[in-house]
Amino acid sequence: FLALILAGCNTIQVRKTLDDVETYIAEHPDSALAVIEAIDTTDLNTRGLRAHHALLHAMALDKNYIDVTDDSLALKAVNYYQKRGSRKNYARSLYYLALSYYYDKQYDKSIIELAKAEPVAAVADSLYLGFVKVLQASVYSKNYNEIAELEALEKALEIYTKLDDEYYINVAKLNLSRSYLNNCRYNDALLLCEQLLSSS
């Protein structure tokens, strides 16, 4: 009985820790990664905790600019959130699975997962819908599909503009200006560069 009580307390504490990490992972990804990697995995005693931990781990690695080619973290999250949990976490899990395939140069697998993520993110997480469109553009670029790449980046810029997120608006403009330049649309590229230079 005592063991059950202690296990329950550990579960509550780990869940609280993961929830806390989620609140600051975007602003302080290095701290988030340190906390996530310090968690004793034996305390992840439910499928939900293991999935949440895996998703946040994948997210923290990405936000610390660590390219992950192993799909195990994202797959653990996808397999759980596909059937239960929030649609937002499912969309994010699919995105990180696609990202792992992209870094592993498995572009066909990446585009398949992005196609799954797009409709889920469209209703559950607009920010990640923008991420999906940017990653789609990168995959299209690897396959020399310039038209699809441009369309995806233009859509990403539209999404971030609606969110009024200046940082990601500028990221989208930078990527789009490069794409315009590669497609010899010099005036369009120059216009975006001038907007970027005048941005705060």
pLDDT in tens, 101-130: 999 999 999 999 999 999 999 999 999 999
Q: What integer pLDDT is reported at residue 1 of this predicted model?
A: 44
Q: What pLDDT, on the 0 to 100 scale, is given for residue 42?
A: 85
- How far apart, in whole angstroms, are the C-alpha atoms of residue 49 and residue 130? 27
**How high is the pLDDT of residue 41?**
87
CB < 8 Å & 24+ apart, contacts of 177-182: 179/137, 179/141, 179/146, 179/149, 179/150, 179/153, 180/150, 182/146
The DSSP output letter for 71 is -
Per-residue pLDDT, 12: 83
The whole-number pLDDT of residue 159 equals 97
List the one residue out of 77, 63, 1 whose CA is nearest residue 32: 63
Question: With a threshold of 0.85, does the pTM exceed it?
Answer: yes
Residues of the chain with pLDDT under 70: 1-10, 200
What is the predicted pLDDT for the residue at 2? 42
Contacts (Cβ under 8 Å, ≥6 apart) of 22: 56
The per-residue pLDDT for 6 is 41
Residue 50 in contact with residue 72, Cβ under 8 Å?
Answer: no
Phi-psi region of 138 (alpha: psi -120 to 50; beta: other; left: phi over 0): alpha
